[in-house]
Amino acid sequence: MSTEKTSGPNDSLNFLEEIVEDDLRTGRVEHILTRFPPEPNGYLHIGHAKSIVVNFGLAQKYGGKTNLRFDDTNPSTEEQEYVDGILNDIRWLGYNPANVFFASDYFDQIYEWAKHLVGEGKAYVDFSTPEEIAVLKGTPTEPGKDSPYRNTSPEENLDLLERMRTGEFPDGHCVLRAKVDMTSPNMLLRDPIMYRIKHAHHHRTGDKWCIYPMYDWAHGQSDSIEGITHSICTLEFAPHRALYDWFIEQLSIYPSHQYEFSRFNLTYTVMSKRKLLQLVREGHVNGWDDPRMPTLAGMRRRGFLPESLREFATRIGVTKRENLIELSLLEFHIREGLNKIALRRFAVLDPLKVVIENYPEGQMEWLETENNPEDPETGKRALPFTRELFIEQDDFMENPPPKYFRLFPGGMVRLKSAFIIRCDRVEKDADGKPNTVYCSYVPESRSGQDTSGLKVQGVIHWLSAEHAKQAEVRLYDRLFQLENPGVEDDFKKSLNPTSLQVISHAMVEPALMEVTSGEKFQFTRLGYFCVDPDSTPGNPVFNRTVTLKDAWAKAQKK
RNA sequence: UGGCCCAUGGUGUAAUGGUAACACAGCAGUUUUUGGUACUGUUUUUCAGGGUUCGAGUCCUUGUGGGCCAACCA
């Protein structure tokens, strides 16, 4: 048998890594410096997580650094709350920016550069209305026409710009535009706006400015000031690159370069900030950190591990293609991470009482069970076993289908880490729902010292009724029922009505009464759960992060 | 009807002119006191036509299909 098998994605580079290696080899750059440039107008989501992993990951791999730069050029939508949240999310994901900067740190320099361009006749103040500007801009297939203000002298423009800055004009009265090419096939080159007037309070510069630079007139300049070698963004910015380069060339400043990769889409998820904001505002979810949200805050509260997210982001790759990633890939990485570290605990979400009729009343014994079979060093714990127990309703069926190997009348099942029991009879409510199952146990079948010789296929979890404690459990499911809700006219039409199911009286083992917010467990046979911050002493709340894979449930669906 | 970007299994990503592979998903099985985990096997792939070449997923060309661009948003 050959053991030489060394192909796979691990030894191949994505296109950004190829560019970087090339730049390093040819000496275009000595060290790479990337940046992650969020606008502080919302919370980070899983799409940003990929961008963070790409930017920080690339720098880490090649011994470079990454700055965090808040793109705060629009005071009307940006807030300090978001700055704090974003910083927190990035650190949680496992990254530390080399520097934390703000585009607003550079407003003075950017203004000086604007004056320079005006002085050279490469920018002008335009008093046209937004409508007039739009009409003269043309369309993608028709060239635009020059604005009547395009040939104002540099001297007059300099004066006008200064008056814009000092607050002489009201909002929207005029704009500063770059003089590029009104006939360019690239719409962004048709005399793009550099500054607009906004008499608004800025979260950092206060009331110092009433003109604010547009994205194109701030981003590349900020990159250049910081000496960013590789300015990585998503595909929709590709047409901006021509402008990015144009400004840098006109100013003869450090030539940062822009590279674009495709953003990713996730099935059953929307990712646009606008839509996420709508979900929050309209109360379809309980805030930005609702565990159903694809925000980092939501996923953290849901119980996702940052390393799972990093691995997922790496696995989906970096390309320029449209793509729609299956949610099951994310879930795979979540389970993989949690399987190794989550301690196992017993919980019964939908209790059904079991009475072991041949087990003496009042008797109790401690039975040992492992905390995590994947990690023996986590040791064992003891569970109290008594005559009256709880099992899941799901684990009993009066008339089971073929291959059902849990409990049914006349059938036997193993209580995990305890005994084998046989179901003798069942007592039902008036509506026919089983309410108590009477069983007998096999004393010599005790786990670890089973001499019964019996073989049973099913193993189920259980709780001593007398010792079990109540807890709230929140079961989360996908927020949308459609694979690609974002492409519908109304994405909210496919909202999943059962994306949250609250079980206020689940039963759990006593040890789960003393937990801390954020702690993660596997509830044996049910899934991974995480302690919600809503928990109070004695009243824990558990969020279901993700279910376990369930071959039986899958087979039943067919 | 202008410009830019893109096209490899169900999904995503490799293969850098020389045997189309990896992961997830699916299916089948082994192990298992979690119908979990682990392990094994397996179904399924180069958008179409033309060209260059001994040889094309890869290069050229023409189509076709998809995405992006006409905020004083980023």
Same domain, A165 and A61: yes
Nearest-CA neighbor of A424 among A414, A409, A413, A435? Answer: A409
pLDDT average, residue stretch A55-70 = 98
Q: In which element (H, E) is residue A506 found?
A: strand A500-508
Same domain, A437 and A515: no
Same domain, A85 and A133: yes
Q: Which nucleotide is nearest to A173 (CA to C1')?
A: B72
Q: Is the CB of A545 under 7 A from strand B?
A: no
Nearest-CA neighbor of A317 among A527, A1, A15, A3? Answer: A15
Q: How many other CB atoms are there within 10 angstroms of residue A197's CB atom? A: 21
Cβ–Cβ under 8 Å, residues A55 and A231: no
Whole-number pLDDT of residue A3: 29
d(CA A463, CA A471): 13
| Average model confidence (pLDDT) across chain A | 96
Tell me how many domains chain A contains: 3
Given A207, A242, A266, the domain boundary residue is: A266
Question: For residue A134, is pLDDT > 50?
Answer: yes
DSSP category for residue A139? B
Q: Any idea which residues of A carry the catalytic annotation? A: 39, 263, 273
Q: Is residue A308 part of a domain?
A: no
Q: Is the CB of A133 under 7 A from strand B?
A: yes
d(CA A110, CA A105): 10
In chain A, pLDDT over 70 holds for what percent of residues? 98
Same domain, A158 and A252: yes
Between residue 32 and residue 71 of chain A, the positions with Cβ below 7 Å from nucleic chain B are 37, 39, 71
d(CA A112, CA A135): 30
Whole-number pLDDT of residue A489: 86
Same domain, A477 and A531: yes
The integer distance in angstroms from the CA atom of A187 to the C1' atom of B72 is: 16
C-alpha to C-alpha distances, A226 to A64, A113, A115, A144, A248, nearest whole angstrom: 14, 15, 21, 35, 13
Q: In which element (H, E) is residue A56 found?
A: helix A46-61
Cβ–Cβ under 8 Å, residues A56 and A12: no
Whole-number pLDDT of residue A10: 52
Whole-number pLDDT of residue A532: 98
For the packed helices A241-251 and A107-119, what is the interaxial angle rounded to 10 degrees? Answer: 80
pLDDT band at A7 (very low <50, low <70, confident <90, very high): very low
d(CA A243, CA A117): 14
Q: Is the CB of A525 under 7 A from strand B?
A: yes
Domain span holding position A25: 15-266
Nearest-CA neighbor of A109 among A237, A222, A4? Answer: A222
Q: Is the CB of A139 under 7 A from strand B?
A: yes
d(CA A20, CA A31): 10
Same domain, A177 and A52: yes
Whole-number pLDDT of residue A434: 96
Same domain, A354 and A501: no
Q: Which nucleotide is nearest to A415 (CA to C1')?
A: B33
pLDDT average, residue stretch A525-549 = 97
Same domain, A46 and A138: yes
User: Rounded to 5 degrees, what are φ and ψ at A37?
Assistant: -115, 65
Q: What share of chain A is helix, strand, coil (3-state, %, to 5)?
A: 30, 25, 40
Q: What's the CATH code of the domain at A366?
A: 2.40.240.10
Q: Is the CB of A189 under 7 A from strand B?
A: no
The integer distance in angstroms from the CA atom of A192 to the C1' atom of B3 is: 16
pLDDT for A428-468, tens place per residue? 999 999 999 999 999 999 999 999 999 999 999 999 999 99
Whole-number pLDDT of residue A6: 33
pTM over 0.90, yes/no: yes
Q: Is residue A6 part of a domain?
A: no
Same domain, A157 and A262: yes
Between residue 414 and residue 473 of chain A, the positions with Cβ below 7 Å from nucleic chain B are 414, 416-418, 445-448, 450, 458-460
Helix/strand/coil for A58:
helix
The integer distance in angstroms from the CA atom of A542 to the C1' atom of B26 is: 32
Q: Is the CB of A271 under 7 A from strand B?
A: no
Q: Is the CB of A25 under 7 A from strand B?
A: no
Same domain, A502 and A540: yes
Q: Is residue A85 part of a domain?
A: yes
pLDDT for A242-291, tens place per residue? 999 999 999 999 999 999 999 999 999 999 999 999 999 999 999 999 99
Q: Is residue A5 part of a domain?
A: no
Strand B footprint nucleotides (protein C-beta < 7 Å):
1-8, 10-16, 21-27, 33-38, 66-74
Given A420, A444, A467, the domain boundary residue is: A467
Same domain, A451 and A519: no
Q: Is the CB of A171 under 7 A from strand B?
A: yes
Distance in Å from the first CA to the final CA of chain A: 39
The integer distance in angstroms from the CA atom of A485 to the C1' atom of B63 is: 32
d(CA A6, CA A291): 40
Same domain, A372 and A513: no
Question: For residue A16, is pLDDT > 50?
Answer: yes
Question: For residue A2, is pLDDT > 60?
Answer: no
Q: Is residue A187 part of a domain?
A: yes
pLDDT average, residue stretch A169-176 = 98
Q: Is residue A314 part of a domain?
A: no
pLDDT for A282-331, tens place per residue? 999 999 999 999 999 999 999 999 999 999 999 999 999 999 999 999 99
In our burial notation (b when 16+ CB lie closer than 10 A, e otherwise), range A127-155 reads ebeeeebeebbbeeeeebeebebeebebe
pLDDT average, residue stretch A463-488 = 96
Q: What's the CATH code of the domain at A232?
A: 3.40.50.620
d(CA A478, CA A485): 11
Q: Is residue A200 part of a domain?
A: yes
Question: For residue A423, is pLDDT > 50?
Answer: yes
Instruction: Determine the protein residue whose CA lies at the shortest distance from the C1' of B24.
Output: A329
Q: Which nucleotide is nearest to A190 (CA to C1')?
A: B70
